[in-house]
Amino acid sequence: MILLAALVLGLLAGWGLARWQRRPYQAPDLKHLWLIPAAFAPQLLVAYLPSAHELVPAAAAAWILPLSLAIFLVFVWLNRRVAGMPVLMIGLAMNLAVIAANGGWMPISPETASHLPGGSAPEAAMPGTRVSDKDILLQPEDTRLGFLSDRFLLPEWMGYPVAFSLGDTLVAAGAFWLLAGAPRATISNRSTNVDI
């Protein structure tokens, strides 16, 4: 949800800035785009397909999310000179670190999960239960790298309760920068155009 909002807002901001500067909007020049569906396909298999929970064994599913993030990281690394990608890369690395440290799932505390749709009271939640596409309930004291877990909630006035991590915030910021950045430039271009 947060990433989707960042992508939409980034496109709108980039297009609006281009119109204001009276130039066509220039999409970022990204290489190895085939890695994006390759990275998303494993998540699709275990998180979004009907009956995926029954079709994919839990032990195998625990490898899917880290694998998906690792492929995304390769894509971002190969495009690291594009504006916004370094921030996106840090966010992905944070998410991969906490997921890998907690058995292949993003940890979320029972207290945070209780605020989500269908969430149960913290005292009734069973630690170790998978509560969403990628989250698993863990008590804070049992969570490794807990400061990187899904521990933040969108404000109630937004009307869409969702938990997110610090890494998600940086991924969204990097994606926004990637699409809104103008004039379109790479890190190397900016550094080589400086007068000495």
Place of tokens 């505390």: 109
User: What residue ranges do the domains of the chain occupy?
Assistant: 2-191
Cα 192 to chain centroid distance, Å, stands at 31
Query: Measured between alpha carbons, how far is residue 38 from residues 45, 117, 196 in Å?
Result: 11, 30, 43
Burial class, 68, CB count within 10 angstroms (exposed 0-12 / middle 13-18 / buried 19+): buried
Find all residues with CB under 8 Å of 185, minimum gap 6, and list them. 83
pTM over 0.75: yes
Pairing of strands 163-164, 152-153: antiparallel
Residue 21, judged by CB atoms within 10 A of its CB (0-12, 13-18, 19+), counts as exposed
The answer, yes or no, to whether residue 190 has pLDDT greater than 50, is no
Look-up of token digits 């396909």: 41
CA distance 8 to 145: 30
Distance between CA atoms of 80 and 77, rounded to whole angstroms?
Answer: 5
Which CA distances in Å does 3 have to 31, 39, 41?
Answer: 20, 15, 17
Write the pLDDT tens digit of every residue in 45-96. 777 666 666 677 777 888 988 999 999 999 999 999 999 999 999 999 999 9
pLDDT classification of 118: cutoffs 50, 70, 90: low
First vs last C-alpha separation in the chain: 44
